[in-house]
A and B are shown apart, each in its own frame.
Chain A
Amino acid sequence: MEVAGQLASLGCQVTLIEKEQETGGHLKNWYHLFPDRRSSDEVAEYLNKQIDHDNISIYVATTILQMERKNRTFIIKTDHGKEIYADAVVVATGFDLFRSERKEEYGYGIYDNVISSADLELMFRKGELKLANGKTPGKIGLVHCVGSRDEKVGNRYCSKLCCITAVKQAIEIKERIKDARVFCFYMDMRMGGALYEEIYREAQEKYGINFIRGKVSEAGVTINNNLVVKVEDTLAGRPLKMELDMLVLMAGMEMSEGGRKIAEMGGLRTGENRFFAAADNHYGSNNSNIEGIFYAGTCTAPMTITETISHARAAATSVINYLKSGKS
């Protein structure tokens, strides 16, 4: 959306193809955003304004069936029988959230009160933070690195946003349920972004969030049907078990299914992490292995919204330079 807006305002004719019913991706399912806890709706509103431009035609609920190149023109065929001719293509297919049920030992889809970080955001949006039986949870655990840094699900990379999301969500839980006890189970706290460390500190000092260093090996239920997690408290050097009312799994980011199809269709290179591989990691992160095809945002790697928007603006610059010079 940002690339489209930028290119349109620079005078390009842009066709935006979206496979979902509306544009905006995962953003519209989120509630508040780190680091400043602003409403995701405000950012969505900004992006919607970006694409509200006479130079932009939008096709929603549209899937690309074929993409081929003739000389310097790309011909894109859609499932609605449309043919779109383009001088340049920007791939902005985003990410899919890791499906938490794939990490079967954590019991997502098996136990009622095991939810994902995305489910929690929906609860925040609805204003209802409740257990399956309608009661208010008193003791809540957040599991970091679900589907990230995990060889067993084939994702070696760090999704990088889940640590700060966990801290943000832990705070949001405490704000809603004052006497809740909240525990984050982490392998490493990766607080590298602007203001992340400050939020982490606030979570400890102001909200009393507990941090336990260890990867949860499994979740189960007790004879009383309470959730129980097993972890090693690696800093105490002892195995630890804890009963919880609710378990939130911090789902990682994966290459989107849509992106994977486009990679196949267009002969676009992907990396070991399955995301699109940039032509150069330092000065060509918007460039693909094919001249005239560019990347924007999380289709290349896990990114924050801030980074995605910056990456999108850089993609627009790359497209303009390509169109001007005739080179990628």
Chain B
Amino acid sequence: MEKFGFTLSKGRVINYDSNDRSIADYILQMEPSFRSCIECGACAATCTAGNFTEFSLREFNILMKRGENDQVREHIRKCMLCGKCSLVCPRGVNTRNVIVLAKEAFQKSESYAI
């Protein structure tokens, strides 16, 4: 049979029910201020890593809360832990600790071990 190169596309729907939100749950438990994020993006605006790479803490926050962890896992090591994001956060989220905890959670988790 002629092959036209068609394949099945991976769905891009966030499957909220089956997604793994254990990373976000871990952070929420250890750093409750993570709950207060309103996705304003001040952290990402000031972030040096984010100016040069695909690193947006604002985006990662929401992705982890939705259980879309792959992209976060891929890029999280780009953070240099400088903490500028903590300085600008209007909600007082301990953003730096969110990153530390996310790294920790990925390391602890068997399915995401880096």
Are A151 and B89 in touch, CB under 8 angstroms?
Answer: yes
Contact with A along B44-60 (1 / 0, CB 8 A): 11110011000010110
Closest residue of chain B to A238 (Cβ to Cβ) is B56
Closest approach, in angstroms, between the C-beta of B92 and any C-beta of chain A?
Answer: 4
Residues of B within 8 A of A271 (CB): none
Interface band, chain A = 20 to 34
Q: Which residues of B contact A105 (CB under 8 A)?
A: 88
- Assess whether A215 is in contact with B41, with CB atoms less than 8 Å apart: yes
Query: Is B90 a contact partner of A149 (Cβ separation < 8 A)?
Result: yes
Residues of A within 8 A of B89 (CB): 151-152
Q: Given the interface contacts A217-B46, A239-B45, does A234 sit within 8 Å of B90 by beta carbon?
A: no
CA distance A188 to B41 in the complex (A): 12
Q: Taking the nearest CB of chain A, how far is it from the CB of B114, in angstroms?
A: 24
Are A214 and B90 within 8 A (Cβ)?
A: no
Asked if B42 is at the interface (CB within 8 A of a chain A CB), the reply is yes
In the bound assembly, the distance between CA atoms of A218 and B39 in angstroms comes to 17
B92, A217: Cβ atoms closer than 8 Å:
no
Is the CB of B38 closer than 8 A to any CB of chain A?
Answer: yes
> For residue B41, which residues in chain A have a CB less than 8 angstroms away from its CB?
213-215, 231-234
Contact A214 B50 (CB under 8 A): no
Task: Report the bound CA distance from A195 to B51 in whole Å.
Answer: 39
B residues 76-112 in Cβ contact with A at 8 Å: 87-92
The answer to whether A151 touches B46, judged by C-beta atoms less than 8 angstroms apart, is no
Per the bound structure, the CA–CA distance linking A238 and B51 in Å amounts to 8
Q: Does A216 contact B (CB under 8 A)?
A: yes
Contact B92 A152 (CB under 8 A): yes
Residues on B with C-beta less than 8 A from A233 are 41
Pick from B39, B44, B90, B92: contact of A239, CB under 8 Å: B44
Q: Is B40 an interface residue (CB 8 A)?
A: yes
Contact among A149, A188, A215 for B45, CB-based, below 8 A: A215
Within 8 A of B (CB), among A34-66: none
Assess whether A145 is interfacial by the CB under 8 Å rule.
yes
Bound form: Cα–Cα A232–B90 in Å: 14
Q: Are the C-beta atoms of B90 and A152 separated by less than 8 Å?
A: yes
Does A237 have its Cβ within 8 Å of any Cβ on chain B?
Answer: yes
Q: Which residues of B contact A150 (CB under 8 A)?
A: 90
Contact status B40-A214, CB under 8 Å: yes
A215 to B88: give the CA distance in the assembly, Å.
Answer: 9
Q: When the two chains form their complex, are residues B92 and A214 in contact, meaning their CB atoms are under 8 A apart?
A: no
A217 to B91: give the CA distance in the assembly, Å: 13
A143 to chain B, nearest CB (A): 11
What residues of B have a CB within 8 angstroms of the CB of A145 in the complex? 90
A246 CB to nearest chain B CB (Å):
20
Complex CA gap A71/B46 in Å reads 59
A218 CA to B92 CA, complexed, in Å: 16
- Is the pair A234, B58 in contact by a Cβ cutoff of 8 Å? yes
Within 8 A of B (CB), among A74-95: none
Q: Quick check: B92 and A234 within 8 Å, CB to CB? A: no
Task: Decide if A217 touches B88 in the complex (CB within 8 Å).
Answer: yes
Contact in complex: B51, A239 (CB < 8 Å): yes
In the complex the two chains form, is B44's CB within 8 Å of A232's CB?
Answer: yes
Q: In the complex, A149 Cα to B89 Cα: how many Å?
A: 11
Of chain A, the residue at the smallest CB distance from B41 is: A232
Supposing A187-B40, A239-B50, A239-B51 touch, asked if A232 and B45 sit within 8 A by C-beta, the answer is yes
Q: List 21 A-B contacts (CB under 8 A).
A: A145-B90, A149-B38, A151-B89, A151-B91, A152-B88, A152-B89, A152-B92, A187-B40, A214-B41, A215-B40, A215-B88, A216-B42, A217-B42, A218-B46, A231-B41, A232-B41, A232-B42, A232-B50, A234-B39, A234-B44, A239-B47
Q: Give residues in A with beta carbon < 8 Å to B.
A: 105, 145, 149-152, 187-188, 213-218, 230-234, 237-240
Instruction: Report, nearest first, the 8 A-B pairs whose CB atoms are least far apart.
Output: A232-B41, A151-B92, A215-B40, A217-B45, A232-B44, A217-B46, A234-B41, A215-B42
